[in-house]
Amino acid sequence: MNSIRPPDELKFTGNVHENWKTFRQCFEFYLLAVGINEDDDRCKIALLLTVAGRSALDVYNTFVFTAAQKDKFPAVLEKFEDYCTPRKNETYERAAPLEGGKSPAELLMNRKLRTRLPSAEHLLEKKEKHPVNQNRLQAYNRTTKPLCQLVQDDVVRVRCDGQWGPVAKVIKETAPRSYEVLTEYGNTVRRNRSHLLKVPHTGRDGQEIVSLMD
């Protein structure tokens, strides 16, 4: 028994959850190797606290056990599990590569996170975006045309649900290609220039449209 090297002490720094998982697996193998009786819970608890080190003993002394859990080895393991699980290193888990070679963060954001984990510098360099395809750009802009700028008191129609809706009067330009207008129903709305159609001040009957809104 003395010739079998025990596991390293349980560390409560860094990714405590991963440290506990590794320690628990090594300790269970150690119990099998030294031939500890499965029913001797007190002996296994004593061996666990001896091997885990002083820090683990301090943590153990903070646990509260019920009468049914006292001197039960599975209960002690469960207490350590509950203590270590919330202390995950989320940055490590997000940046650690998976089986496919990419980390969860890289799969989500399509780039690598800058962390304290060792990483080659060329992997952190920004990738250049693909150049704009001029043929596609020309085809996209083929049917477009510049829209005239609107000024205060211009009469327009507001596009609603794919159709040119109520008449409105321009109040002011709030941002490039964005205007605040007063509709014929008395509502003040903000619309992009592409959703505003400039119309004459007079209708087909010669009556001023602006006067209808007053």
Number of domains the chain contains: 3
> Average of pLDDT values for 134-156?
85
- Tell me the per-residue pLDDT of 37-94, one tens digit each, with 9 for 90 and over: 677 888 889 999 999 999 999 999 999 888 888 889 989 999 998 888 876 666 666 7
- Which residues sit opposite 202 in a β-bridge? 208
| Domain annotation covers residue 67 | yes
Residue 70 sits in the same domain as residue 94: no
Answer whether residue 113 shows pLDDT above 60.
Answer: yes
Q: What's the mean pLDDT when you consider all of the chain?
A: 81
| Domain annotation covers residue 2 | no
Residue, of 123 and 172, whose pLDDT is higher:
172
Residue 114 sits in the same domain as residue 173: no
Answer whether residue 211 shows pLDDT above 60.
Answer: no
- Give the pLDDT of residue 101: 75
What are the CA-CA distances from residue 197 to residues 10, 43, 163 (Å)? Answer: 72, 86, 11
Answer whether residue 181 shows pLDDT above 70.
Answer: yes
> Average of pLDDT values for 119-126?
64
Residue 66 sits in the same domain as residue 95: no
| pLDDT band at residue 213 using 50, 70 and 90 as cut-offs | low
| Domain annotation covers residue 205 | yes
Residue 94 sits in the same domain as residue 77: no
Residue 63 sits in the same domain as residue 100: no
* Number of neighbours of residue 157 by Cβ within 10 angstroms: 20
Q: Which amino acid is at 198?
A: K
| Domain annotation covers residue 9 | no
- Give the pLDDT of residue 212: 44
Strands (DSSP E) contained in 35-177 are 155-160, 163-175
Question: Containing domain of residue 182, as a range?
Answer: 155-213
> Average of pLDDT values for 183-192?
91
Q: Which of 17-21, 116-120, 149-153, 189-193 has the lowest mean pLDDT?
A: 116-120
- Which CATH number is 187's domain given? 2.30.30
Cα separation, 77 vs 94, whole angstroms = 27
| pLDDT band at residue 201 using 50, 70 and 90 as cut-offs | low
- Give the pLDDT of residue 135: 82
Residue 50 sits in the same domain as residue 68: yes
Residue 118 sits in the same domain as residue 64: no
Element (H, E) at 209: helix 209-213
- Give the pLDDT of residue 209: 55
Cα separation, 208 vs 126, whole angstroms = 58
> Average of pLDDT values for 139-158?
86
